[in-house]
Amino acid sequence: MNIALIAHDAKKELMVQFCIAYCGILSRHDLCATGTTGKLVSDATGLKIQRFLSGSQGGDQQISARIACNEVDMLLFFRDPLSAKPHEPNDNNMLRLCDTHNIPVATNIATAEVLIHGLERGDLDWRNIVNPSR
């Protein structure tokens, strides 16, 4: 499965801790991330992560393009709901694309835990049927 990782600044450490906790599961999948999030997670876990630009420089749009092409199977996007973001329209567009392409999304750690356990159990194997070429 192709899993994309994104975290707002206030949630980056939470993403790192989440990835440390689930490194064994994540290591069996292809990961991509926005630049800073990817570097922090990779440095802390040793996971191989395809890094795009940082979110503020368009990395979130690069991941959105992969979502639009149905090249992402799950999005873990730890959002900071307490502060306004100048690129919030991009975030909303990314979530709309996930809805359009039936891509499971977690915007907080509680939902991410549910998705990662479902991934481990095989509950998301239907994505391989949707995208058999991968």
Confirm whether 9 is a catalytic residue: no
Q: What is the DSSP letter of 103?
A: -
Handedness of CA 71, 66, 50, 5 (dihedral sign): negative
Sheet strands (E) in the chain: 2-7, 30-33, 49-51, 74-78, 105-106
Check 43, 60, 91, 99 and give the catalytic one: 60
Helix (H) or strand (E) holding 127: helix 126-130
Q: What is the DSSP letter of 70?
A: T
d(Cα 39, Cα 93) in Å, to the nearest integer? Answer: 24
Q: Which residues are catalytic?
A: 60
